[in-house]
């Protein structure tokens, strides 16, 4: 049986109180939302916080509200299931609803939160293991060691961004509201991530994510979420991709963007405005977009699935998503 | 430091001093002696520890007991009604849907929640509803049979309070 290490447990009733607790305990504190990422990791000895600050006492962090001027404000502690089932989310942001319902299993979707997903730790087959396993091999850069087992000469950690909702959130232009003892700021979700899997997010010490802000969808824009995993339930992805096209599919596009994740510490964003401008979404253009999206991604041995296969499947996955938009059965192989 | 936890377990109020790092599974098994809830992977992968919290399936191995303050927990010990095992349990028995039985309490609870929300699920809906519970013995065929039989059985009956109320 795997037990949790001991810690103290606090349940603040409002954001101000939560933020002062986080400031008071500093590095010793961790935020507990649904716990579906944090608690398994603590059982594996990856974190040993002295205090967990639970979000359960703050009703203001749960629920989905209409934003002034259109769009939605999703409380960070809203469960993935509540996001996926919200009629407004389904109508305005179907790719986000879709992404929430590919996380783990329906049981975990009822516990895990959108905020916890946005701040899901980076993952790697050499890191997400028991202390016993990691001791046997020798610790890695991300936890206690001085070498990356994936890229032995790398000065930085290669653990991968793995959150299902993030590629779609980036393409939607979603923002994050962060509240700290020094005040609050609103930043694009895209700017939350870095190139080093150890120090992988840009939150300042003690900052709490309170809301994910979804701007009104741009007219004439479509976003699709795609995930590849070994089993169609439970498993994290070995590849995540989200595709956005703007404009008239038959008459001529104005813009396109693709986000690929599970291939490195941050999601890889490829802007394709120049490639697509004025062109209709033909099979030929779909293939060009798919190639362009695959080019910058360099999957490594972070997953138990071959990097060469994952690389190839980026092109195939993006192509298939675009073929779905075109209403054509995909010939991508 | 230990803290007071007040909650309802299988319809009865419980009050207990628990350590913050005690999982709901530890609390149910060790403090309340409800050993029907199983430890499988202990990491959120397998579903053996599934219980219902406010009527919804939840993995008790990765839920802190203290997070369940004020909530209503239903374990496998609490699904029987009027001294009779639940129709889902009867169907599991009739269809021989348990071999080693380790996954069974979790599966039964997932199934109880599934059939409460969707009394006549399609094949795909049953698969989705049970997708968080791994069984290493049966190959799932007999589990599927049991869910279908239980659905038919339950269709003829009124809902019971033991299945938990939903608080959305
Ligand atoms: C078996 C299994 C399979 C899984 N599969 C997937 C999958 O396929 N895809 C996927 O994306 N995830 C997966 N997960 C991970 C996890 O369930 C989800 O990412 C979930 O959304 C995390 O949310 P949470 O509320 O449980 O986060 P928690 O575990 O509570 O928190 C995650 C991290 O974010 C921090 N945090 C949380 N909320 C805040 C906040 N408001 N402000 C500041 N910091 C915060 C925590 O301190 C912690 O470091 C899986 C987990 C398990 C156990
Ligand atoms: S024991 Fe809880 S999910 Fe496996
Ligand atoms: S009956 Fe043995 S694991 Fe399901």
Alpha carbons A190 and A294: distance in angstroms, whole number: 19
Of A32, A40, A107, the CB nearest to B58: A107
The answer to whether A54 contacts B47, with C-beta atoms less than 8 Å apart, is: no
Task: Tell how far the Cα of B29 is from the centroid of ligand 3, in angstroms.
Answer: 20
Helix axis angle, A283-294 relative to A307-326, nearest 10°? 150
Residues of chain A found within 8 Å of residue B107, distances taken between Cβ atoms: none
pLDDT of residue A1: 84
Considering the domain architecture, whether residues B57 and B114 belong to the same structural domain is answered as no
Q: Is the pLDDT of residue B157 over 90?
A: no
Number of domains in chain B: 2
In this prediction, residues B95-112 reach a mean pLDDT of 98
First to last CA, chain B: 31
Q: What torsion do the CA atoms of B91, B96, B98, B104 make, to the nearest 10 degrees?
A: 0
Q: Do the domain assignments include residue B38?
A: yes
pLDDT of residue B44: 98
Q: Do the domain assignments include residue B11?
A: yes
What is the Rg, in whole angstroms, of the alpha carbon atoms belonging to chain B? 15
Q: Which residues line ligand 3 (CB under 6 A)?
A: B 98-103, 135-138
Using a 6 Å cutoff on CB, does residue B94 contact ligand 2? no
Q: In what order do the strands lie in the sheet with A183-188?
A: A64-66, A72-75, A208-214, A175-180, A183-188
CATH number, position B42: 3.10.20.30
pLDDT of residue B142: 97
Task: Give the 3-state secondary structure of residue B53.
Answer: strand
Considering the domain architecture, whether residues B59 and B111 belong to the same structural domain is answered as no
Considering the domain architecture, whether residues B74 and B92 belong to the same structural domain is answered as no
A37 pLDDT band, cuts 50/70/90, is very high
Last residue within a domain, chosen from B54, B78, B102: B78
Q: Is the pLDDT of residue B167 over 80?
A: no
Considering the domain architecture, whether residues B91 and B69 belong to the same structural domain is answered as no
For residues A197 and A142, the answer to whether their CB atoms sit within 8 Å is yes
Alpha carbons A53 and A76: distance in angstroms, whole number: 14
Question: Phi, psi (5° rounding) for residue A66?
Answer: -70, 135
pLDDT of residue A330: 85
Last residue within a domain, chosen from B78, B95, B130: B78
pLDDT of residue B161: 46
The answer to whether B26 contacts A111, with C-beta atoms less than 8 Å apart, is: no
The answer to whether A107 contacts B20, with C-beta atoms less than 8 Å apart, is: no
Mean pLDDT of chain A: 97
Considering the domain architecture, whether residues B109 and B150 belong to the same structural domain is answered as yes
Task: Say yes or no: ipTM exceeds 0.90.
Answer: yes
State which residue of chain A sits closest to B132, comparing Cα positions.
A105
Considering the domain architecture, whether residues B7 and B74 belong to the same structural domain is answered as yes
In this prediction, residues B141-160 reach a mean pLDDT of 88
Q: What angle do CA B108, B111, B116 make, to 5 degrees?
A: 130
Q: Is the pLDDT of residue A184 over 90?
A: yes
pLDDT of residue B156: 84
Q: Which residues of A touch B (CB under 8 A)?
A: 1-9, 11, 32, 35-36, 39-40, 43-44, 52, 54, 56, 104-108, 110-111, 232-234
B159 pLDDT band, cuts 50/70/90, is low
* C-alpha distance from residue A114 to each of A40, A109, A262, A265, A288 (Å): 18, 9, 18, 19, 33
Q: Do the domain assignments include residue B71?
A: yes
Between A84 and A333, the more confident residue is A84
pLDDT of residue B89: 97
Considering the domain architecture, whether residues B11 and B71 belong to the same structural domain is answered as yes
Q: Is the pLDDT of residue A226 over 50?
A: yes
In this prediction, residues A89-115 reach a mean pLDDT of 98
Q: Is the pLDDT of residue B165 over 70?
A: no
Q: Do the domain assignments include residue B162?
A: no
The answer to whether B57 contacts A1, with C-beta atoms less than 8 Å apart, is: no
Q: Which long-range contacts (CB under 8 A, 24 or more apart) does B151-155 make?
A: B151/B115, B151/B119, B151/B120, B151/B121, B153/B87, B153/B90, B153/B91, B154/B87, B154/B88, B154/B115, B154/B119, B155/B119, B155/B120
pLDDT of residue A30: 98
Considering the domain architecture, whether residues B49 and B72 belong to the same structural domain is answered as yes
Considering the domain architecture, whether residues B106 and B150 belong to the same structural domain is answered as yes
Nearest CA-CA partner of A72 in A158, A1, A175, A153: A175
Q: Do the domain assignments include residue B56?
A: yes
Residues of chain A with pLDDT > 90, as a percent, come to 98
Question: Phi, psi (5° rounding) for residue A178?
Answer: -115, 130
CATH number, position B105: 1.10.150.120
Domain interval for residue B132: 87-154
Q: Is the pLDDT of residue B1 over 90?
A: no
Considering the domain architecture, whether residues B126 and B69 belong to the same structural domain is answered as no
**What residues are paired with A75 via a beta bridge?**
A211
Q: For the segment A105-150, what is each residue's pLDDT rounded down to a tens digit?
A: 999 999 999 999 999 999 999 999 999 999 999 999 999 999 999 9
Distance from CA of B161 to the nearest CA of A (A): 21
State which residue of chain A sits closest to B106, comparing Cα positions.
A107
Using a 6 Å cutoff on CB, does residue B136 contact ligand 2? no
Q: Do the domain assignments include residue B160?
A: no
Considering the domain architecture, whether residues B26 and B60 belong to the same structural domain is answered as yes
Q: Which long-range contacts (CB under 8 A, 24 or more apart) does A229-236 make?
A: A230/A305, A232/B131, A233/A104, A233/A105, A233/B128, A233/B131, A233/B132, A234/A104, A234/A105, A234/B45, A234/B131, A234/B132, A234/B134, A235/A104, A236/A104, A236/A123, A236/A162, A236/A262
Q: What are chain A's domains? A: 59-119+160-214 (3.30.465.10), 221-326 (3.30.390.50)
Q: Do the domain assignments include residue B149?
A: yes
pLDDT of residue B166: 45
Last residue within a domain, chosen from B45, B78, B111: B78
Considering the domain architecture, whether residues B18 and B51 belong to the same structural domain is answered as yes
Q: Is the pLDDT of residue B164 over 50?
A: no
pLDDT of residue A6: 98
Q: Do the domain assignments include residue B168?
A: no
Q: Is the pLDDT of residue B112 over 70?
A: yes
The answer to whether B67 contacts A56, with C-beta atoms less than 8 Å apart, is: yes
The answer to whether A234 contacts B131, with C-beta atoms less than 8 Å apart, is: yes
Q: Is the pLDDT of residue A101 over 70?
A: yes
Alpha carbons B142 and B128: distance in angstroms, whole number: 16
Alpha carbons B167 and A82: distance in angstroms, whole number: 13
Task: Tell how far the Cα of B102 is from the centroid of ligand 3, in angstroms.
Answer: 5
Using a 6 Å cutoff on CB, does residue B47 contact ligand 2? yes
């Amino acid at each position: 049986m795997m037990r949790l290490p001991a810690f103290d447990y606090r349940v603040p009733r409002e954001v101000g109180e939560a933020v002062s607790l986080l400031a008071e305990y500093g590095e010793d504190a961790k935020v507990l939302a649904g716990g579906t990422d944090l608690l398994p990791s603590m059982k594996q000895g990856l974190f040993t916080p002295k205090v967990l600050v639970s979000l359960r006492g703050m009703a203001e962090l749960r629920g989905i509200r209409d934003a002034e001027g259109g769009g939605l404000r999703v409380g960070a502690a809203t469960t993935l299931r509540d996001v996926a089932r919200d009629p407004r989310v389904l109508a305005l942001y179907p790719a986000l609803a879709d992404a929430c319902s590919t996380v783990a299993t329906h049981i975990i979707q009822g516990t895990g939160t959108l905020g916890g997903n946005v701040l899901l730790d980076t993952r790697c087959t050499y890191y997400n293991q028991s202390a016993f396993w990691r001791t046997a091999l020798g610790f890695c850069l991300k936890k206690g060691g001085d070498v990356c087992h994936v890229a032995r000469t790398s000065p930085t950690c290669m653990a991968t961004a793995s959150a299902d909702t993030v590629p779609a959130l980036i393409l939607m232009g979603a923002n994050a509201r962060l509240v700290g003892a020094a005040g609050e700021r609103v930043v694009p979700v895209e700017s939350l991530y870095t190139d080093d899997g150890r120090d992988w997010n840009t939150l300042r010490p003690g900052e709490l994510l309170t809301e994910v802000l979804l701007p009104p969808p741009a007219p004439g824009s479509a976003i699709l979420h795609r995930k590849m995993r070994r089993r169609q339930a439970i498993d994290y992805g070995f590849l995540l991709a989200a595709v956005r096209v703007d404009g008239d599919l038959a008459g001529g596009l104005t813009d396109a963007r693709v986000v690929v994740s599970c291939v490195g510490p941050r999601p890889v964003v490829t802007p394709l405005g120049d490639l697509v401008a004025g062109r209709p979404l033909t099979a030929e253009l779909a293939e060009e977009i798919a190639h362009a999206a695959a080019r910058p991604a360099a999957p490594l041995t972070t997953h138990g699935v071959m990097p060469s296969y994952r690389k190839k499947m980026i092109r195939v996955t993006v192509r298939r998503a675009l073929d779905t938009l075109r209403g054509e059965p995909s010939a991508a192989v | 430091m230990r803290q007071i936890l007040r909650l309802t377990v299988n319809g009865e109020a419980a009050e207990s001093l628990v350590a913050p790092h005690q999982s709901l599974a530890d609390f149910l098994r060790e403090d309340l002696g409800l050993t029907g809830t199983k430890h499988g992977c202990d990491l959120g992968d397998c579903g053996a520890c599934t219980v219902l919290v406010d009527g919804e399936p939840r993995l008790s191995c990765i839920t802190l007991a203290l997070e369940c303050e004020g909530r209503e927990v239903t374990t496998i010990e609490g699904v029987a009604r009027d001294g009779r095992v639940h129709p889902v349990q009867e169907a599991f028995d009739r269809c021989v849907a348990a071999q080693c039985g380790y996954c069974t309490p979790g599966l039964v609870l997932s199934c109880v929640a599934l059939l409460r929300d969707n009394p006549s699920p399609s094949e795909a809906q049953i698969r989705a509803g049970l997708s968080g519970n791994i069984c290493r013995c049966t190959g799932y065929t007999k589990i599927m049979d049991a869910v279908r039989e239980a659905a038919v059985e339950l269709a003829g009956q009124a809902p019971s309070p033991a299945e938990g109320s939903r608080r959305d």
